[in-house]
Structure 1
Amino acid sequence: MSFTSLHWGAYRPRVVDGRLQAMDPVEWDADPSPIGLSIPGAIDSATRIRRPAVRRSFLERFNDHPALRDPHLRGNEAFVEVPWDVALDLVATELSRVKGEHGNKAIFGGSYGWGSAGRFHHAQSQLHRFLNSYGGYVYSVDSYSLGAGRVLMPHIVGNMDWLLAAHTSWRNLAEHCELFVAFGGLPLKNAQCSPGGASDHLVSNGIRRMSDAGVQFVNVSPLRDDLTGSERNEWLAVRPGSDTALMMALCWVLVDEGLHNTDFLRRYTVGHERFIEYLLGAVDGVAKTPEWAAALTDIPAQRIVSLAREMAGKRTMINVAYSLQRAQFGEQPFWMTVTLSAMLGQIGLPGGGFGLGYGCMNNTGSGRKAFSGPRFSQGVNPVKDFIPVARITDMLLNPGEAFDYNGKRYHYPHIRLVYWAGGNIFHHHQDINRLLHAWQRPETIIVHEQFWTAQAKHADIVLPATTALERDDIGSAASDRYMIAMHKAIEPVGEARDDYAIFAELSRRLDCMQVFTEGRDAGQWLRLLYEESRSRAGSFAIELPDFEEFWREGVFEVDYPPDDTVLLKAFRDDPQGDPLQTPSGKIEVFSETIAGFGYADCPGHPVWLDKPAQPLPLHLLSNQPKTRLHSQYDHGAYSQASKIQGREPLTINRQDALARGIAEGEVVRVFNDRGAFLAGVIVSDTIRPGVVQIATGAWFDPLAKGQANSLEKHGNPNVLTEDVGASSLSQGCSAQTVTVEVEKWHGEVPPITAFDPPEILGARV
């Protein structure tokens, strides 16, 4: 029996008569993810794209001016199935036209990177390599998940990827940590996944070992279930968006009672004096006292005082979840996490310091070296124009307009063609109704997809791509315990082709085939990439078998040496000999660089910034789902089983539900001035009053197809989230800063059509 690797785990596909019947978790995974249950039945369902398809008016008017191809009909028009040669000729013609008329700066290569755990058939790498072979493209930087953090952290501590790979290990925490304070919790649902795969789930066992060792956990979150599995677990039901104020008040107590570590601050940080002046009110006249914070956070002042004393008296790890920086002024909770840890002076000590995302992905805290296995080169992009990833709507709506990013001013390019492979923008982008207007602006939109998602339905040319089970590949994630030989389990559904085969054919038509393929087929690339990874493995003291043995055995357990990792230990031991990669070589509580940018919404040290007044009474949290990764396999059995009357579940506090006459299991309308969606209701005391929560990833399903401001009937929260940057520094996603109202839905509930394919017309050339 063969293996496969998915972002949420390793499985043995069970195939009968050529059809996938089940996905059996591998025997070594102590905590396998049930997301795999969604794949059988969904992989070859009616939602699957089986043949190349072109939007009808786009095809009929292909030889007309692009403006006459009715881009306003995207999302509300039939598709015509065409032969592969016809579809590829159309794509090649459009790429050639746009490049010839406007240059490569008019092409946007959209891909969000989560399309496949396989290292060769990785949609983002394939797309970017192809476009680079053809002269380049406008690209995006950072991520929706961690946009603010990725831009901020190099200024104050170091590169985010380096920090994540070097986090203090779960093993070390179990041995040395006494108090784990989790801002945003440690949600196990998020830890199901990792880029490149999660063959051995670690987080639940890590929490359990810490609990058995007597570690006390404090879950600072509006959601009680953001931290489970520990015996000593206190829930501080903080008001959303106020974590920075709570951290500042904890710092105030440390300074007021002389509990801050002045020696550590003096030796290992710069700028702490200026921050302390601000903390004590010398700058703005407002001392950041526990009483001040209590009014903002709803955490009693005395509990803030006692928590600060506990943190100073115990070996304390402070963790902040990614979700806290997905908000307006999202840099501040990350900066304050580092600052509070520096005040305690435990950075670099076993079991203490700070973490940036324990529980957000599986491998954070593994304690293993960051060997990631095979890598497929994307080549070099001659085009230097880019956007922060969360600013795509701004780019499409405002070509030529200036934007700030990380201390510099740039201008949005004028995009004529969008090429997308991997990802679903109608899931992860904010203010979808605004996006719908922007999505009419490009002349051509080309999508590789496996299923009829909203992204595919809003494209002009749709090319059916294979899934991970329909091709050979290699699964390998940084620090993951196993490398997986991903043998093809089933034949491609319909006429689906893998991305490499598609781009190889396009590159032949566009005279860049040798640059893209280097004369190799997919099997030859797999062998080459694996052999190249063997030499890199040696630098990690890892010995990989030859390719034939690896492919025959199907799995290889990486022999990682025992590693009792402690984040920033080398820096603490020798700050001069092992400085940080910051301008000062130290932790920058105050950053001269950021201060020099002159951003009022992100000045030179952590600050409390009042958010704009929110007009509606309920704060909406849209966090990661439990039953899928992002929007993947939302049409599958496991995700579908979680729905209420076919809608995504919305959790509301009991007293908020009672005040609105809402009962468990009913359908409600959730709305603000940006739009409205329907959801099924869960009434619970595990969420604080004044807050409602819904997972992201429900496939976008408007009542009126292709029209903005239509009722979304499936539960996609991004019709309500605001599309503004976290700050001028990062321009990151700010989805968590949004308020709504909720009311009972009266009358007939409209049917879910998100998973229905569009109208498909017969082949027409």
Structure 2
Amino acid sequence: MSENLIEKITNKKLKRRSFLKWSGAVAAPAIIGGAGVSNKLIQKASAETTSSVEEDIVVPTCSTLNCGGKCLIKAHVKDGQIIRISTDDDPRDKNADNEQFPQIRACVRGRGYRRHIYSPHRIKKPLKRVGKRGEGKFEEISWQEAIKEIAKQNNRIKEKYGPASRFSIYATGQTGEVGSGDTVIQRLLALDGGFLGRYSNYSSGQHMAATPFTFGVPAASSSCNTLLDSKLIILHGMNPAETIIGHFNMYLRMSKAKGAKIYTIDPRKTDTNVALADDWFPIKPTTDNALIAAMAHVMFKENLHDKEFLDTYCIGHDEAHMPEGVSAGESYYSYVMGEKDGVPKTPQWAAGITGLPANRIIQLAREVATTKPMAWVQGNGINRHMNGEQMSRGGSMIAALTGNIGISGGWAGPGAAGEIIKYQNFPITPNPLGISIPVFKYTDAIVRGTEMGAADGVKGLKEGETLPSNIKMIFNMAGNCLVNQHSDINKTTKMLKDESLCEFIVTSDIYMTPSAKYSDIILPTCTFFEQNDVVPPWSYGQHIFLSQKVVEPLYGSLTEYEWMSMLAKELGIEKEFTEGRTQDQWVQWMIEESKKKDPNFPSFETMKKNGVYKYEENTVVKFKDNIEDPVNHPFQTPSGKIELFSKKLWDMNNPDTIPAIPKHVAVSEGPESDVTKKYPLQIFGWHVKRRCHSTWEKSDWLEEVQTQELWINPIDAKERQIKNGDKVKIFNDRGTIQIPAKVSSRVMPGVVCLPQGGWFTPDDKGIDNRGAINVLTGQEASPLFCNPQHTNLAQVEKA
């Protein structure tokens, strides 16, 4: 199919401006959940976009891209082509939001999916590198040639360096189950002798690492429908309007309609704040625990804390409730009141660190302490910081101090709500090596893998052992973390260019991403419209999809399962890999097995008709049993209680970076750092509504929804003689970006921010011209081996 024909298909019946009018018609409800659009607006949009269209069939499906909404997509198909997109119209939620069966409506990204499948930028044939790695020079080869070359290199590297030299890099461009290349490649490599595994993720790694020290489990949030009982909701680094997290926006809107107040704590006035919030509390990045300590000071001083709850269910809050073997003066009360260090953590003290006035801190503390149920909801924005683990524990401290744990409308901590959905996964064969590294440290494992052990976060080794090999072969399945989404892009690409380090890289994708350019073999994969899969939602969801094949694959693309089955045959493990099933047969098997776990799970035919199964019993009040019956349901911590002081962290004997209580920890590139003399501005990348991570970057429609530009406060802009729209240079010791500026009071002074996910686009001097934030981020991991990409200092000048 020619590129001209692709362009015609893409624009058929729906020009860019019509798309923007349609997305504009749903702009507010897309931000806050999709309700409230007048019938006139819908009729007007429909008249502009669907006149004279006669659909043959409407096929329900779901995106497998790593988007938090996981919306129901209805593809209108005529003559084998998708001519338009509609979304969920569940009659049970026709006139008002249904608390039990909410519609799973597409946002502006979902409305633009036709541009995703019919993009002229799609990779059309398997490609083999012919120039130096990173130059972007490739030649087309056949699928047979590609598979034979991958098998040859795989066997050579496994024999020379051992199976631990092979690594499937963290990737989220194609999620789901059997349709996820990242899942399927792990099954294949496990059957082929094993591989170097990985754990954690780039988004919520600090939450996952820190929460077990408080509650004994890695997830501590309730289901989002419990927010309907909340009277006050604090969104701490939480921006669901732009990240689109399941039904979160809808329940926030319903909670607000019932009278709940909503506040946001964020350096940027987010779209969530604009659409839903009653107040905004801007604080400097990395200073969240200073705010929390000052709020605790107000509560302790004014006797507003829930002492009965603390004394009954917690340890570490005061000197009378401490674990054995800990010296005096280490409780949270002692820290907050300054009993040991002589520095009371007053609102005035915190104001100088956070940038939030003391009277505003007092206001927030009193309201949080006296309003119940109160949900302090920790988003992933407080992750990705060098002290993110401590800030994660800090939010749970507020929940404990106010007794808002184990009750509906309260909120204990971050993470998924628990098992709402019972379904059968695609089975991954256990990795026989049993060795894994923190996902963020893959570049370390390329350069110094044989030096890495437990001190680097490696799991599965015996005491004193290190990795048996550096990473020599990488499978990059629909991912952009090889380059674009990993830190310090310039350092990473220099490393990948050196073919004596990682010797072979395979990428499977639909676009020539910045990561794909550093591959040796590139394979054209299918979009979700071109294959069948089973797709669960993100954490806050109570539904599961059949992502249904809508059209035949374009060009010569194959699904990852299809080409890996070919590779498995070449490696002599086809029978074990496929178990005699095609991808479609695996999908049917998963649905049949899901019915054994949940008798109400629909049949395959019903799923084909509806596209989605919405669960009825979907309420989870986290730790309800632990609070109501602590004798029979102790917390899974060493003490059986909520550990506001963690003896495990204390025993690590690293109090400056991993304290046993959630203290404010100043970091090397924070607002209190000496580095601010050279690079005075804190910079971070936020998730924007026009992209999910780096996906949708090539959509010109979504580019018009939101442009890529640096947000800077008028005070900082005036000091640098920068006006709105001026091209600016953003730089630090790691790299330089040139991009237009947006001067806005929606970002606090001393902070600048870029929409994360822009594709690295360097000029001949190596200066990025797209705003790829990871040009400026560093590769040093946080104390518990996680991604700290929000913690950076830089300078901005007019270009």
**TM-score band, normalised by the shorter chain?**
0.7 to 0.9
Q: Among residues 737, 750, 754, which one is paired with 1:677 in the alignment?
A: 737
Match of 1:84 in 2: 143
Match of 1:585 in 2: 640
Q: What is the identity, as a one-letter code, of the residue corresponding to 1:597?
A: M
Match of 1:739 in 2: 793
The structure-2 alpha-carbon separation of the partners of 1:492 and 1:230, relative to structure 1 and needing over 3 Å to count, comes to: closer
Match of 1:220 in 2: 265
**What do residues 20-79 of structure 1 show as CA deviations (whole Å, max 9, x unaligned)?**
33322232337521102443234233321111111015xxxxxxxxxxxxxxx2111411
Query: 1:116-515 alignment to 2 at 5 Å?
Result: 116=175, 118-161=176-219, 163-164=220-221, 167-170=222-225, 172-175=226-229, 177-190=230-243, 192-193=244-245, 201-225=246-270, 227-228=272-273, 233-273=278-318, 274-315=331-372, 316-356=374-414, 370-402=420-452, 404=455, 411=466, 413-425=469-481, 426-439=483-496, 440=498, 441-477=501-537, 480-515=541-576
Match of 2:127 in 1: 53
Residue pair 2:235, 2:378 contacting (<8 A) in 1 also? yes
Could you tell which deviates more after superposition, 664-673 or 440-449? 664-673
The structure-2 alpha-carbon separation of the partners of 1:480 and 1:350, relative to structure 1 and needing over 3 Å to count, comes to: closer
Residue pair 2:690, 2:706 contacting (<8 A) in 1 also? no
- What SS does the aligned partner of 1:354 have? coil
Q: What is the identity, as a one-letter code, of the residue corresponding to 1:289?
A: T
Q: CA deviation at 1:86?
A: 0.8
Match of 2:12 in 1: none
The structure-2 alpha-carbon separation of the partners of 1:30 and 1:3, relative to structure 1 and needing over 3 Å to count, comes to: closer
Residue pair 1:332, 1:607 contacting (<8 A) in 2 also? yes
Q: What is the identity, as a one-letter code, of the residue corresponding to 2:653?
A: G
**What do residues 714-764 of structure 1 show as CA deviations (whole Å, max 9, x unaligned)?**
11111001221121xx2111111112122223xxxxxxxxxxxxxxxxxxx
Q: Among residues 611, 626, 638, which one is paired with 2:667 in the alignment?
A: 611
**What do residues 115-166 of structure 1 show as CA deviations (whole Å, max 9, x unaligned)?**
13x43212221111111111111121101111111111112113234x34xx
- What SS does the aligned partner of 1:189 have? helix
**What do residues 315-348 of structure 1 show as CA deviations (whole Å, max 9, x unaligned)?**
1221222111211111111111112221222322
Rounded Cα–Cα distance in structure 2 between residues aligned with 1:375 and 1:16: 33
Match of 1:757 in 2: none
Rounded Cα–Cα distance in structure 2 between residues aligned with 1:641 and 1:103: 49
The structure-2 alpha-carbon separation of the partners of 1:677 and 1:487, relative to structure 1 and needing over 3 Å to count, comes to: same
Match of 2:51 in 1: none
The structure-2 alpha-carbon separation of the partners of 1:379 and 1:17, relative to structure 1 and needing over 3 Å to count, comes to: same
Q: CA deviation at 1:232?
A: 6.0
**What do residues 578-618 of structure 1 show as CA deviations (whole Å, max 9, x unaligned)?**
11111111111111112112234102222222222233122
Q: Calculate the aligned-residue CA RMSD, in Å.
A: 2.2
Q: CA deviation at 1:406?
A: 6.2
Q: CA deviation at 1:284?
A: 2.5
The structure-2 alpha-carbon separation of the partners of 1:265 and 1:222, relative to structure 1 and needing over 3 Å to count, comes to: same
Could you tell which deviates more after superposition, 423-432 or 227-236? 227-236
**What do residues 325-376 of structure 1 show as CA deviations (whole Å, max 9, x unaligned)?**
211111111111112221222322232243426xxxxxx67xx952153410
- What SS does the aligned partner of 2:279 have? strand
User: Unaligned 5+ residue runs, structure 1?
Assistant: 58-72, 194-200, 358-363, 746-765
The structure-2 alpha-carbon separation of the partners of 1:668 and 1:18, relative to structure 1 and needing over 3 Å to count, comes to: farther
Q: CA deviation at 1:230?
A: 6.3
Residue pair 1:372, 1:477 contacting (<8 A) in 2 also? no
**What do residues 365-420 of structure 1 show as CA deviations (whole Å, max 9, x unaligned)?**
7xx95215341011110122221111112221223223525698874541111112
TM-score (norm 1): 0.86
Residue pair 1:169, 1:566 contacting (<8 A) in 2 also? no
Rounded Cα–Cα distance in structure 2 between residues aligned with 1:407 and 1:126: 23
Residue pair 1:662, 1:744 contacting (<8 A) in 2 also? yes
TM-score (norm 2): 0.83
Match of 1:752 in 2: none
- What SS does the aligned partner of 1:174 have? helix
Residue pair 2:211, 2:413 contacting (<8 A) in 1 also? no
Rounded Cα–Cα distance in structure 2 between residues aligned with 1:492 and 1:525: 19
The structure-2 alpha-carbon separation of the partners of 1:697 and 1:189, relative to structure 1 and needing over 3 Å to count, comes to: same
Rounded Cα–Cα distance in structure 2 between residues aligned with 1:696 and 1:444: 28
Rounded Cα–Cα distance in structure 2 between residues aligned with 1:528 and 1:518: 12
Rounded Cα–Cα distance in structure 2 between residues aligned with 1:405 and 1:77: 33
Percent pairwise identity: 28
The structure-2 alpha-carbon separation of the partners of 1:308 and 1:406, relative to structure 1 and needing over 3 Å to count, comes to: farther
Match of 1:69 in 2: none
Q: Which has the higher relative contact order, 1 or 2, with Cα contacts under 8 A spaced 6 or more apart?
A: 1
Q: CA deviation at 1:299?
A: 1.7
Q: What is the identity, as a one-letter code, of the residue corresponding to 1:189?
A: E
Rounded Cα–Cα distance in structure 1 between residues aligned with 2:523 and 2:550: 21
Residue pair 2:166, 2:473 contacting (<8 A) in 1 also? yes
Q: Among residues 44, 62, 68, which one is paired with 1:5 in the alignment?
A: 62
Match of 2:157 in 1: 98
- What SS does the aligned partner of 2:785 have? coil
Residue pair 2:73, 2:85 contacting (<8 A) in 1 also? yes
Residue pair 1:99, 1:106 contacting (<8 A) in 2 also? yes
Q: What is the identity, as a one-letter code, of the residue corresponding to 1:302?
A: N
The structure-2 alpha-carbon separation of the partners of 1:330 and 1:41, relative to structure 1 and needing over 3 Å to count, comes to: closer
The structure-2 alpha-carbon separation of the partners of 1:458 and 1:306, relative to structure 1 and needing over 3 Å to count, comes to: same
Match of 2:45 in 1: none
The structure-2 alpha-carbon separation of the partners of 1:488 and 1:30, relative to structure 1 and needing over 3 Å to count, comes to: closer
Q: Among residues 500, 514, 529, which one is paired with 2:590 in the alignment?
A: 529
- What SS does the aligned partner of 1:608 have? coil
Q: What is the identity, as a one-letter code, of the residue corresponding to 2:119?
A: S
Could you tell which deviates more after superposition, 398-407 or 339-348? 398-407
Rounded Cα–Cα distance in structure 2 between residues aligned with 1:257 and 1:524: 64
Match of 1:694 in 2: 754
* 1:631 equivalent in alignment to 2:694: yes
Rounded Cα–Cα distance in structure 2 between residues aligned with 1:134 and 1:120: 18
Q: CA deviation at 1:672?
A: 1.1
- What SS does the aligned partner of 2:515 have? helix
- What SS does the aligned partner of 2:85 have? strand
Q: What is the identity, as a one-letter code, of the residue corresponding to 1:384?
A: G
- What SS does the aligned partner of 1:711 have? coil
The structure-2 alpha-carbon separation of the partners of 1:410 and 1:115, relative to structure 1 and needing over 3 Å to count, comes to: farther
Rounded Cα–Cα distance in structure 2 between residues aligned with 1:77 and 1:254: 59
The structure-2 alpha-carbon separation of the partners of 1:555 and 1:683, relative to structure 1 and needing over 3 Å to count, comes to: same
Residue pair 2:534, 2:547 contacting (<8 A) in 1 also? yes
Q: Among residues 636, 651, 657, which one is paired with 2:711 in the alignment?
A: 651
Match of 2:622 in 1: 567
Rounded Cα–Cα distance in structure 2 between residues aligned with 1:301 and 1:89: 66
Q: CA deviation at 1:468?
A: 0.7
Could you tell which deviates more after superposition, 487-496 or 456-465? 487-496
- What SS does the aligned partner of 1:701 have? coil
Rounded Cα–Cα distance in structure 2 between residues aligned with 1:692 and 1:587: 37
Rounded Cα–Cα distance in structure 2 between residues aligned with 1:393 and 1:638: 34
Q: CA deviation at 1:486?
A: 3.0
Rounded Cα–Cα distance in structure 2 between residues aligned with 1:605 and 1:411: 31
Rounded Cα–Cα distance in structure 2 between residues aligned with 1:350 and 1:651: 38
Match of 1:755 in 2: none
The structure-2 alpha-carbon separation of the partners of 1:399 and 1:306, relative to structure 1 and needing over 3 Å to count, comes to: same
